[in-house]
């Protein structure tokens, strides 16, 4: 089982959580997702001018972890600027810290903080062998038959076929990542996700849960919402991932 991530400490949220190119209608835009801790790393290092060691100490993480978060955040921003995409700052693995009325440092979990403004969880994309919740999870991400986009609070779902990924000679994982990103998913559950697909998903701020084969889609979503599926730190193996 993957080691649980250490929560990153965030001192200040951005004033705006969404940015889009001027002159391009929303319906024509692809979104990329910047985790809140990624925005914090950009603020501390690129805006405030702290060195990476000092920024890491403020966020309560190692310098190596800070460097990895910063590199991914810069990649997301660079991709949005060069390819004309919108940036949504949302989610991640963090706690908010600030001053309480008694002067003590207080923290607020990511779930509680994000729920104040939104009141709901992000949609979950599950690679599926069929169009209903009781179909089996397809262990192949890039070459899955399709994806069920599930609202974990209501269990309402939408099925998106992945015909292009099944016949693609290469790049199936990246195409699949773009499909679930356009569908508004914040989490992907699958059997195995290969390196290119994993990079595309995490670059878009999408969390990845693996080893969900031998489950139905319903079981995978329920296990995730109960915290029984660990989020992946690196891609898995498997053909067609």
In the chain, residues under CATH classification 3.30.420.130 are 123-225
Query: What's the pLDDT at 241?
Result: 46
Lowest model confidence (mean pLDDT) among 38-42, 161-165, 182-186, 207-211:
161-165
Task: Tell me the CATH number for domain 123-225.
Answer: 3.30.420.130
Is pLDDT above 60 for 143?
yes
Highest mean pLDDT among 3-17, 118-132, 215-229: 215-229
% of the chain exceeding 70 in pLDDT: 82
Query: What's the chain look like in SS3?
Result: CCCCCCCEEECCCCCCCEECCCCCCHHHCCEEEECHHHHHHHHHHHHCCCCHHHHHHHHCCCHHHHHHHHHHHHHHHHHHHHHCCEEEECCCCEEEEEECCCCCEEEEEHHHHHHHHCCCCCEEEEEECCCCCCCEECCECCCCCEEEEECCCCCCEEEEECHHHHHCCCCHHHHHHHHHHHCCEEEEECCECCHHHHHHHHHCCCEEECCCCCCEHHHHHHHHHCCCCCECCCCCCCCCC
- What pLDDT score does 127 carry? 96
Per-residue pLDDT tens over the stretch 156-170: 899 999 877 655 567
pLDDT in tens, 57-84: 999 999 999 999 999 999 999 999 998 8
Residue 142 above 60 pLDDT? yes
């Amino acid at each position: 089982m993957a080691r649980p991530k250490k929560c990153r400490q965030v001192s200040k949220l951005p004033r705006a959580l969404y940015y889009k190119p001027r002159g391009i209608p929303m319906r024509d835009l692809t979104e990329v997702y910047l985790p809140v801790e990624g925005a914090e790393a950009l603020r501390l290092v690129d805006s405030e001018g702290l060195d990476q060691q000092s920024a890491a100490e403020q966020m309560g993480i190692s310098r190596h972890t800070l460097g990895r978060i910063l590199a991914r955040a810069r990649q997301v921003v660079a991709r949005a600027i060069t390819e004309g995409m919108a940036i949504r700052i949302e989610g991640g693995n963090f706690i908010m810290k600030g001053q309480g009325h008694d002067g003590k440092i207080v923290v607020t979990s990511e779930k509680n903080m994000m729920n104040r403004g939104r009141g709901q969880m992000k949609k979950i994309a599950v690679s599926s062998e069929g169009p209903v919740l009781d179909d089996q999870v397809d262990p192949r991400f890039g070459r899955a038959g399709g994806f069920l986009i599930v609202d974990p609070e209501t269990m309402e779902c939408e099925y998106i076929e992945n015909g292009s990924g099944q016949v693609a000679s290469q790049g199936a994982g990246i195409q699949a990542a773009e499909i679930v990103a356009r569908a508004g998913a914040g989490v992907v559950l699958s059997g195995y996700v290969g390196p290119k697909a994993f990079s595309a998903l995490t670059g878009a701020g999408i969390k990845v849960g693996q080893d969900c084969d031998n489950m139905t889609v319903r079981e995978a979503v329920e296990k995730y919402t109960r915290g029984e599926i660990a989020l992946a730190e690196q891609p898995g193996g498997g053909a067609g991932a």
